[in-house]
Amino acid sequence: MDSTAIPWEEARDAIRTQLGRPLEEVFAEIDPTPLAAASVAQVHAARLHGGDEVVVKIQRPRARAQVTTDLDILVRLAAEAERRTDWARAYGAAALVDEFARALREELDYRVEVANSSMLRGAVEASGGAGLRVPRAYAEFSTAQMIVQERVYGTPFARLAPDAVDAEEARAIADRLLEAVFDQIAVRGVFHADLHAGNVILARDGGVALIDFGAVGILERSMRRLLVPMLVAMANEDDVAVTDVVLLMCGTEGADVVALQRDIGVILTRMRGTRGPDGPGMDENVFRLLLDVLRRNRMALPPSLLLVFRTLASLEGTLRRICPDYDMVDHALSIAPRMALRLASPESAVLSMQTWSALLGEQLLRIPRRVERISRALDEGTLSVRLRSFESPDERGWVDGLAGRLTTTVVGSTLLFAGILLAVDDGGPMLTGDVPAFAFLGSVAGLGGLLLLLRSLRSAFRRR
């Protein structure tokens, strides 16, 4: 729902301030009635002197100060939550809020949005377009608080009537949009990160246009190399492979691998049981379910991947606006192997091999110098080794207990063996008329050794 628009006089003054000149010098005409209004900005239709039809997105004068105050409160709350609670530290609350704050500050700087739209246009053009359109931004008229952008005629998915598009055509449009978004994420690494139904427009020619580029995600290549195999493994219901990829993404510290794999396997089995023409369909988004599993296991995804999963969850709701029974997960997993082939190009493989070969060669060249330093330290008696294992009290207690049991076992065995040797010896002095001294001492030593062995054995079984 649109927010209350600011008066035209206030909006006009803001536009004039950003342009640094009268509106008439840039626009042949501009509509005082906004096309849309939000809490941070509002949009007016206009036409340039060259005849191009554009929209002017002008930021509300007091929006920046209000958002800055709210972000400062969030950052303080996240830091306090991490200081006081284990769950906030486990989820990386401060890092998530920092990433959110950074993204929101970028959304307030419309120069970033102009750069984002240009970057996304390049990614779409590199993938062939597939009916997806990113409107052009006029950088010469855009500033930190205003954007002048090509106007797109069409209907936002949020305002589509249920029967506005033929069912077969609607499914084809949804398939094309999903494949284009997955290409952005998995292959190009640059994607629109706010794909709610208001930002996706069904153009009059049947194509799809994206608007509002304040939130554009960047997924680094190392993460893309993990994301695509994870999707392929999910399509193959391979819970072991999915678990391994998740551990590579999130780290293994403190992870209960068995419990994590079991939870992931349950999700994949449920997903498999609801897919297909005869299946009831899966109402829950598998990516959202995976995030829930990670939260239960006290694991946190890197912020860039978290943004990917959030984007996919938002995209599913958008696609169902045009095709109510659309199964995004089923189609997404079916195209994952194709995306893997696009990512693993021969040229990229050759370049990666050259890079890693150069790094390996550099490391090999440094080995003689390191060996020489170790040899010198040995000669000078200054070589020291620090072990990081057994630093916690529990680990040290386990080592101390093991050493104690080992010592008790060795002493007990020695006493028992010595007792047996003394007991069978017929020589030596007599303690009494009938009792040899060696036999008596052997019996005492053997009894002591036996008691020590029994104590060690009892302690070992108690530990189990």
Q: Transcribe 207-239 into DSSP letters.
A: -EEE---S-EEE--HHHHHHHHHHHHHHHTT-H
Q: Which of 71-85, 199-213, 269-283, 367-381 has the lowest mean pLDDT?
A: 269-283
Percent of the chain with pLDDT over 70: 86
- pLDDT score recorded for residue 349: 64
Question: Which of residues 292 and 355 earns the better pLDDT score?
Answer: 292
Rounded Cα gap, residues 190 and 161, in angstroms:
31
Q: Which of 54-63, 213-222, 377-386 has the lowest mean pLDDT?
A: 377-386
Q: By the 8 A CB rule, do 119 and 152 touch?
A: no
pTM passes above 0.95? no
> Measured on CA atoms in the order 231, 233, 239, 243, is the torsion positive or negative?
negative
Rounded Cα gap, residues 197 and 321, in angstroms:
7
- pLDDT score recorded for residue 431: 66
- pLDDT score recorded for residue 284: 62
pLDDT band at 129 (very low <50, low <70, confident <90, very high): low
Q: What mean pLDDT comes out for the span 101-117?
A: 85
- pLDDT score recorded for residue 13: 94
pLDDT band at 201 (very low <50, low <70, confident <90, very high): very high
- pLDDT score recorded for residue 21: 93
Q: Which of 149-158, 222-231, 303-312, 431-440 has the lowest mean pLDDT?
A: 431-440
- pLDDT score recorded for residue 30: 95
Predicted confidence (pLDDT) at residue 281 exceeds the cutoff of 70? no
Predicted confidence (pLDDT) at residue 190 exceeds the cutoff of 70? yes
Kindly report, residue by residue over 354-368, the tens digit of the pLDDT: 776 777 787 788 888
Percent of the chain with pLDDT over 90: 21
Q: What mean pLDDT comes out for the span 203-215?
A: 87
> Measured on CA atoms in the order 79, 81, 82, 84, is the torsion positive or negative?
positive
Q: Which of 93-102, 117-126, 174-183 has the lowest mean pLDDT?
A: 93-102
Q: What mean pLDDT comes out for the span 67-95?
A: 84
pLDDT band at 228 (very low <50, low <70, confident <90, very high): confident
pLDDT band at 43 (very low <50, low <70, confident <90, very high): very high
- pLDDT score recorded for residue 358: 78
Predicted confidence (pLDDT) at residue 178 exceeds the cutoff of 80? yes
Kindly report, residue by residue over 415-449, the tens digit of the pLDDT: 777 777 767 666 667 667 676 776 777 777 777 77
Kindly report, residue by residue over 363-408, the tens digit of the pLDDT: 788 888 888 888 888 888 787 766 555 556 666 676 677 777 788 8
Token pair, residue 362, equals 């550099």
pLDDT band at 295 (very low <50, low <70, confident <90, very high): confident
Predicted confidence (pLDDT) at residue 247 exceeds the cutoff of 80? yes
| Cβ-defined contacts of 78-84 (< 8 Å, 24+) | none
Burial 223-249 (b: 16+ CB within 10 A, else e): bbbbbbbbbbbbbebbbebbbbbbbeb
What's the angle, vertex CA 338, arms to CA 243 and CA 172, rounded to 5? 110
- pLDDT score recorded for residue 394: 64
- pLDDT score recorded for residue 1: 45
pLDDT band at 31 (very low <50, low <70, confident <90, very high): very high
Q: Pairing mode, if any, of strands 132-133 and 208-210?
A: parallel
- pLDDT score recorded for residue 344: 63
